[in-house]
Amino acid sequence: MKASPRQQRLLLDLQDLDTAIARLRRRRQTIPERAELDALADGAEAAKTRYMAAQRELDAQRAEFDRIEADVALVSQRRVRDEQLIAASTSSKEAQALQGELDALARRTAELEDRQLEALELQERAEREFDAAAAQLGGVDAERDGLRSRIAEAEAGIDRELAAQTEERAGLAAEVQRDLIGVYEDLRARTGIGAARLRGNVSEASNMALAPAELSDIRAAAPDELVFCPGTGAILVRVEDE
């Protein structure tokens, strides 16, 4: 296949752009904050688990405190009722029975007040744990949001570079003859390198020196004849005059 030296040199510019575009795409996939975000996943899950457990415990302690408080209110109502009945009673036997119930209610009140104090302590402890868990989760969420924001900012910058490079590539590719760019694209799809310079006796596609016989065959080829790297198959563009 034949292509003018200028057309062949266009392939070098095209390869440089393709290499730059591939590098930008790798940069986009390997933004450092991505690894930090992935590493944060376990910590975020642990913080969420702690928060949910603390919330359940706090709800349980509040429910227990409310239940005891309701029992205290009920006993208090019973005591008020019995005291009113004693005051209105004309029967010593009834008054004695009511007094016995009042004594029992007093003991029940003392027991409930002790439990109420214990429940309040447990509730306050649960509230402190919940506040700590909420603060930890909030910190993780804030860190995660910050990482996502930096990733988005980095992606936007890379995408702008990619758009510019892609546009430049499209313009350059339009200057290359169709059959030549077809060969180039096929080689690049297979090996990652479609064209490379031959500097002296070194192929930049393989970064290796060519054997004397290989170099002799290439130098014997006409300037508009396509030659290929023996090691990679890439189109070799002769640039000895640069």
The whole domain housing 156 covers 31-173
Q: Are residues 135 and 65 in the same domain?
A: yes
Per-residue pLDDT tens digits for 98-122:
788 888 888 888 999 999 999 999 9
Q: How many residues does the chain have?
A: 242
Chosen domain end from 173, 199, 218: 173
Q: Are residues 141 and 43 in the same domain?
A: yes
Q: Are residues 16 and 80 in the same domain?
A: no
The CATH number of residue 63's host domain is: 1.10.287.1700
Number of compact structural domains in the chain: 2
Q: Are residues 18 and 36 in the same domain?
A: no
Q: Are residues 154 and 197 in the same domain?
A: no
Say if residue 43's pLDDT is above 50.
yes
CB 87 within 8 A of CB 79: no
Provide the pLDDT confidence category of residue 148 given band limits of 50, 70 and 90: very high
Helix (H) or strand (E) holding 160, with range, is helix 92-173
Q: Are residues 157 and 189 in the same domain?
A: no
Contacts of 198 (CB under 8 A, 6+ apart): 204, 210, 218, 227, 229, 236, 237, 238, 239, 240
Q: Are residues 147 and 43 in the same domain?
A: yes
Say if residue 19's pLDDT is above 60.
yes
Q: Are residues 122 and 59 in the same domain?
A: yes
Q: Are residues 114 and 41 in the same domain?
A: yes
Which pLDDT does position 241 carry in this prediction?
A: 52
- Whole-structure pTM value: 0.69
Q: Are residues 51 and 82 in the same domain?
A: yes
Per-residue pLDDT tens digits for 172-226:
999 999 999 999 999 999 988 999 999 999 999 999 999 999 999 999 999 999 9
At 209 the three-state DSSP class reads strand
Greater pLDDT, 116 or 240: 116
16: left (phi over 0), alpha (psi -120 to 50) or beta: alpha
